A and B are shown apart, each in its own frame.
Chain A
Amino acid sequence: MADPARDPHTSPPRAALAVEIVGLNKWFGEFHVLRDIDLTVARGERIVICGPSGSGKSTLLRCINHLEDWQGGRIVVDGIELTDDPKQIVAVRRDVGMVFQQFNLFPHLTVLENCTLAPIWVRRMPKRDAEALAMKYLERVKIADQAQKYPARLSGGQQQRVAIARALCMNPNIMLFDEPTSALDPEMVKEVLDTMVALALDGITMLVVSHEMGFARQVADRMIFMDDGQILEINKPKAFFDHPLHERTRLFLQQILR
């Protein structure tokens, strides 16, 4: 398990495991969308989850910061057990950054205001400090020159990099990426992936739902293949791509790696 030098700006670890999921079951109405999921993620670990659409991979990711409710099992994030208690939920969300497929930037705020909103109102940071922090992360995603613009003026790739900076401004211990490049025009995928690779090298815990297999090979510590609401295979990337254990993994990889 990789354990590179931690980013000094993240808060100190409170638990040995970043994420612990035990016996997770979830239904959408009659549809059993997550079936008996068990997964532990160590600190600093980078995990890439793939699988056909409708396999439950996004739903699983969204359970980790309680954007989705579930009916059975338990999830512990950074030592905090997620219950229905709003205090626990907010505590977890302060600690977990999320990047969405559709960016979800706040269109009525400038790039800088998007980044300072949560530090000011959730972390209670003075405005000046929050802006300094935001500029640091905007520089890191190479978009500091656009700080005063509104998101609608930016390209998709730029918006997604702002979304990454916005999440980083909360100094999260864990980052969740929900198909971060699938809504992008092809020529913008690389700039976002490069940002994510740089982030991975910094040692933050990452769970990424993505079909970018080049990225997965480059940064993943473990690959997860999901189908039909279940985890069918967890494997090291090399083994996963070269000798998948599950027949369905092999078929899936064949289809997307044509």
Chain B
Amino acid sequence: MAAASDMTVSFLRQTPAARLPTPALRGGVAGWLRASLFSSPFNIALTLLCALLIARAVPPLIRFFLIDANWSGSDREACLPSAGNPDPGACWAFVRVWLSYFVYGFYPIGQRWRVDLFLAALALGVVWLLWLGAPRRGIGAIYFFIVLPVLSLILLAGLPAIGLSFVPTNLWGGILVTIVVATVGMVVSLPLGILLALARRSHLPMVKWLAVAFIEFVRGVPLITVLFMASVMLPLFVPEQLAPDKLVRALIGVAMFASAYMAEVVRGGLNAIPRGQYEAAEALGLSYWRMNALVILPQALRVTLPNIVNTFIGLFKDTTLVFIVGIFDFLRTVEAAHSDPRWASPEIGVTGYAFAALFYFVCCYAMSRYARRVELRLARRGGREHDRERRDG
């Protein structure tokens, strides 16, 4: 600094420096390609490797599932090698013929409109609840959490008094069962998980120990074990005539399992809330429940939203395990259809599982995208949208 003053370089800006617009991307598309894909020898090698993989994998898949696939027919003849198609691809005809079984299981054919109505009512509830700009979302919540469960029970199980015949749950199957198990699991596990997480952080030792014991025990055994216990051991404690239905027992098992995981996810979110938020809420005179409902949980759930959706996605796929206690979920119906001798052909297995994979992927990816949008919207409120969107938009 001393040297600077010796050199008499005093400087005074006379006019303000102009505010210039952000310069355009240098080099356009070619520049982007160079910077992103070919910036270093390692990057070039990676790019070439990926291009090679895509070139090797994608065309055969397109050929098998689309170009050489058989789309119509009523038995295996449609999918066997023929003069016109010596190397047949996927047998979509099989899926078309069996589709109603995949959706409804053994649900009586004349009563399937009840399932359709249930699915429509559920779709309405889901859209009403999840569409952030929907009108009257309060009523939507009442509809989803109170009206819909009652309506679904009456529709699906039946209520002879109003002319809906009784349909025992061992006739339910397919996508219907998968949706029922997943929805009940999600809707029960979030509130129960929140309560368990709060209990685990409680200052009351008994409450805390009970929550810890439940979470650690349920989380420490495989879902199959929980399902077996719910299915086999529950009737041992409850009199025969009071023992709940087989599907209900599986639902209880899945809900317990999901709640234990959800509790830990929510606890992670609660841990991220600074002490000062609790103190500010307490200093304003908010009670424990109001403080959690109005100040802590809205922030904690927002922090942990990706983890909640992750748990939901895991739960959705775990529903396939209910087959172990003899329930015909979607995947089980696909497997059962394979064993039909009228459709015995080499491509049936791949086609069935590809269809199942497509169904699970579409559902899980939809959950993932929805969560991403909610995250961005919440981030925008916090005034951090720029770095969030730039980082992983």
Give CA–CA (A102, B276) in the complex, Å.
8
Nearest B residue to A93 via CB reads B285
* Size of interface on A: residues with Cβ below 8 Å to B: 27
Nearest Cβ in chain B — how far from A96, in angstroms? 8
Interface centre among A65, A86, A107, A170 (most CB of B within 10 A): A107
Q: Is B299 at the interface (CB under 8 A from chain A)?
A: yes
Query: Which residues in chain A, 115-170, are within 8 Å of chain B measured between CB atoms?
Result: 117-118, 121-122, 150, 152-153, 163, 166-167, 170
Give the distance in Å from the alpha carbon of A107 to the alpha carbon of B384 in the complex.
12
- Report the bound CA distance from A176 to B277 in whole Å: 17
A245 contacts partner chain B, Cβ-Cβ < 8 Å? no
Neighbouring B residues of A105 by C-beta, 8 Å: 280
| Chain A contact surface mostly | mixed
Cα A65 to Cα B281 with chains together (Å): 12
The answer to whether A107 and B279 have CB atoms under 8 Å apart is no
Q: Are A118 and B285 in contact (CB under 8 A)?
A: yes
A90 CA to B287 CA, complexed, in Å: 8
Given contacts A150-B381, A150-B382, A152-B383, contact A100 B276 (CB under 8 A): yes
Question: What separation, in Å, do the CA atoms of A107 and B300 have in the docked complex?
Answer: 12
Please encode chain A, from 81 to 116, with 1 for each CB lying within 8 Å of some chain B CB and 0 for all others: 000001000100110111010101111100000000
Other than the given A65-B282, A108-B382, 17 more pairs (CB < 8 A) read A67-B282, A67-B283, A90-B287, A94-B285, A96-B283, A98-B283, A100-B280, A100-B283, A102-B276, A104-B276, A106-B280, A117-B294, A121-B290, A152-B382, A152-B383, A153-B383, A166-B284
Query: Which residues of chain B are near A97, meaning CB under 8 Å?
Result: 283
B286 within 8 A of A: yes
Q: Which of B279, B286, B298, B384 contacts A121 (CB 8 A)?
A: B286
B298: which of A67, A96, A108, A153 is its contact (CB, 8 Å)? A108
Pairs across A and B, CB under 8 Å, 6 listed = A67-B283, A100-B276, A108-B299, A108-B382, A122-B285, A153-B383
Footprint of A on B, CB under 8 Å?
A: 274, 276-277, 279-287, 290, 294-295, 298-299, 302, 381-384
- Could you say which residues of chain A place their CB within 8 Å of the CB of B381? 108, 150
Complex: how many Å from CA A125 to CA B109? 57
Question: A121-B290, A122-B285 are contacts. A107–B382 as well, Cβ < 8 Å?
Answer: yes
Chain A residue numbers with a CB within 8 Å of B294 are: 117, 121
Alpha-carbon distance between A65 and B295 when the two chains are bound, in angstroms: 19
Residues in chain B near residue A100, CB distance under 8 A: 276, 279-280, 283
Contact with B along A158-191 (1 / 0, CB 8 A): 0000010011001000000000000000000000
Q: Which residues of the other chain, A, contact B276 by a CB distance below 8 angstroms? A: 100, 102, 104
Given A117-B294, A153-B383: A106 touches B286 (CB 8 Å cut-off):
no
Q: Is the CB of B283 within 8 A of A106?
A: no
Q: Smallest Cβ distance from B303 to chain A, in angstroms? A: 10
Closest-by-CB residue of A relative to B288 is: A86
CB-CB under 8 A from A93, the residues of chain B are: 282-285
Bound: A97/B285 CA distance, A = 9
Most chain B beta carbons < 10 A, residue from A67, A98, A108, A153? A108
Least CB distance from B32 to A in Å reads: 32
Interface 1/0 per residue, A23-60 and B, CB below 8 Å: 00000000000000000000000000000000000000
